[in-house]
Amino acid sequence: MIFDVPTTLSPSRISSFENCPLQFRFASMQGLPQPPQVHLVRGNAVHRALELLFGDEPAARTQARATAALAEARAECASDANYVGLGMTGADEDAFWSECARLVDNYFQMEDPSTVAGAELETWVEAPIGRVTVRGYIDRMERDGDGRLVISDYKTGRAPNPNYEDRAMAQLQVYAYLVREMRGEMPSALRLYFVRDKVRIDRTPSEQSLRHVARRTTGVHDAIARSCETGVFATKKGPLCNFCAFRSWCPEFGGDPARAADEAPLAGRPR
């Protein structure tokens, strides 16, 4: 066995292995550092502002309160390593926060948060699927007007082409599985809010979709176990390579994966 087989996975790590096993090895098995990426930091800031907004009573969730929540998120970012690591100053920083404010405004055009009752925020969920424990945080869960459970998640990237909606929804299908395991209740709806494009995608989880979650998770975990045993983590060249922090060590781009452990920790240091 070259690597220890992971005993826990998150929905994003499951997708990460599917997207590119070698990138998964660098990031999740070896824990190599990756420079902060502006779109991820922006997503965290918007999530935090909406979390603060939903921490208030429904009637208090106004746009003025959302503006104040974003200011709180900005103050918190001052001590966030990823935000600081972006090294933004002046116009760059102003543009970053203007875009965050636009995304929060867009959210208000999609939904009136004062109508959302009894929201649970950042709920930790965890349950076994086959031989692995899957866990993560759900952005928001609430009851709809008929008392049924709804799982919601905010996205700040582009809304997917209709052909890729199910792939975008895979994370929430996993959460539906975990909630059903933990609470014995099938959620009635899964909602993705793509605030950049003001698009909401809805799905209704079913016994069939949860069986697919179990099959997919078990298949990915088995594949990870085989890679850990052989040390072979395949490459998967595609558009995501443009954002990959490990290109220098990827054979698809002439790199040597064996050098990453020594060189990647140095790559992000100031010269």
Least Å distance, CB 160 to ligand SF4, is 19
Least Å distance, CB 36 to ligand SF4, is 17
214 or 241: CB nearest ligand SF4: 241
Least Å distance, CB 242 to ligand SF4, is 9
39 or 102: CB nearest ligand SF4: 39
Least Å distance, CB 258 to ligand SF4, is 14
Residue 137 to residues 12, 134, 156, Cα–Cα distance (Å): 11, 11, 17
Least Å distance, CB 16 to ligand SF4, is 10
200 or 236: CB nearest ligand SF4: 236
Sequential DSSP letters for the chain: --SPPPSEE-HHHHHHHHH-HHHHIIIIIS-------HHHHHHHHHHHHHHHHHTS-GGG--HHHHHHHHHHHHHHHTT-HHHHHT---HHHHHHHHHHHHHHHHHHHHH--GGG--S-EEEEEEEEEETTEEEEEEEEEEEE-TTS-EEEEEEE-SPPPPGGGHHHHTHHHHHHHHHHHHHHS---SEEEEEETTTTEEEEE---HHHHHHHHHHHHHHHHHHHHHHHH-------SGGGGG-TTGGG-GGGT--GGGHHHHHHHHTS--
Residues 6+ apart with CB under 8 A from 144: 150, 188, 189
Least Å distance, CB 230 to ligand SF4, is 17
17 or 177: CB nearest ligand SF4: 17
22 or 104: CB nearest ligand SF4: 22
Least Å distance, CB 139 to ligand SF4, is 26
- Cβ atoms 181, 133 nearer than 8 A: no
Contacts to ligand SF4 by CB under 6 A: 20, 22-23, 235-237, 240-241, 244, 246-247, 250, 252
190 or 245: CB nearest ligand SF4: 245
23 or 171: CB nearest ligand SF4: 23
